[in-house]
């Protein structure tokens, strides 16, 4: 597959990935009615817990469509890593290796999140794998977003680079604030996740728009 094909493909995958996550999350949250899912208090991971009627860390858990959310978790990791790996060909040297390493680590982390649910009812090893996978996935994705803002290889405007660094930093700050208050823990957790979903949408959209306007440019970009 030529560069002219895989660059827009990678960009499209990033956009599709962000959309599938948001749609899956909305559908799964809407199916949670006893009690209603609380976006501010409940973690995203709660949507993937199969135990209905359980209580974990003070939160009531009941996600009828947990299989959908867990599938979305794993799909996100695979699609994000795939999209970034395709676009990584736009940069060279150590920057490319760093981008690839972060993307792959994120993908593995998110697959673990989907395979092991975040509740205390299962084996402790499963919960550890879920928490560890989520930590790796979140930190690596936001670090990648910040790194992308320092690269010129994507050929995007300086405003995009500022956006990328800002969004990534806010994502990392949100991670640090998750434990500040249980009543709004879900808000900060979403800040740490929606950061890279927003970045994926913007990056994919801009690369696609650039390709449509001037496809020959993809043959000449470098880090």
pLDDT band at 75 (very low <50, low <70, confident <90, very high): very high
Closest CA to 158 of 191, 213, 214, 206: 206
Q: pLDDT tens digits, residue range 35-52?
A: 889 999 899 999 999 888
Tokens (6 digits) for 152: 């010129």
Q: If you average pLDDT over residues 211-223, what whole number do you get?
A: 56
Classify each residue of 134-160 as buried b or exposed e, where b means 16 or more C-beta atoms within 10 Å of its C-beta.
bebbbbbbbbbbbbbbebebbbbeeeb
What's the pLDDT score for residue 27? 97
Give the least confident one: 2-6, 99-103, 137-141: 2-6
Whether 105 contacts 140, CB under 8 Å: yes
Q: If you average pLDDT over residues 133-144, what whole number do you get?
A: 97
Q: pLDDT tens digits, residue range 107-119?
A: 999 999 999 987 7
Backbone φ/ψ region at 118: left (φ over 0), alpha (ψ -120 to 50), beta: beta
Q: If you average pLDDT over residues 149-163, what whole number do you get?
A: 84
Give percent above pLDDT 90 in the chain: 65
What's the pLDDT score for residue 70? 96
Higher pLDDT, residue 197 or 62 = 197
Q: Is the pLDDT of residue 31 over 60?
A: yes
Higher pLDDT, residue 179 or 163 = 163
What's the pLDDT score for residue 221? 47
Give percent above pLDDT 70 in the chain: 91
Q: If you average pLDDT over residues 84-95, what whole number do you get?
A: 90
What's the pLDDT score for residue 151? 83
The residues spanned by each domain of the chain are: 3-215
- Cα–Cα distance, 199 to 212 (Å, whole number): 20
């Amino acid at each position: 597959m030529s560069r002219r094909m895989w660059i827009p493909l990678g960009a499209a995958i990033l956009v599709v990935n962000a959309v599938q996550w948001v749609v899956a999350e909305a559908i799964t949250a809407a199916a949670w009615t006893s009690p209603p899912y609380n976006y501010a208090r409940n973690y995203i991971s709660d949507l993937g817990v199969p135990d209905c009627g359980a209580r974990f860390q003070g939160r009531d858990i009941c996600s009828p469509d947990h299989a959908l959310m867990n599938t979305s978790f794993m799909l996100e990791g695979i699609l994000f890593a795939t999209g970034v790996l395709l676009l990584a060909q736009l940069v060279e040297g150590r920057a490319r290796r760093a981008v690839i390493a972060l993307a792959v680590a994120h993908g593995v982390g998110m697959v673990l999140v989907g395979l092991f649910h975040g509740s205390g009812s299962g084996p402790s090893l499963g919960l550890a794998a879920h928490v560890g996978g989520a930590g790796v996935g979140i930190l690596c994705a936001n670090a990648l977003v910040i790194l992308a803002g320092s690269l010129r290889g994507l050929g995007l405007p300086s405003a995009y680079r500022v956006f990328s660094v800002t969004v990534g930093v806010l994502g990392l700050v949100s991670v640090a604030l998750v434990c500040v208050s249980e009543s709004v823990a879900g808000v900060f957790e979403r800040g740490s996740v929606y950061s890279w979903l927003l970045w994926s949408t913007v990056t994919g959209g801009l690369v696609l728009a650039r390709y449509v306007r001037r496809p020959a440019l993809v043959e000449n970009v470098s880090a």
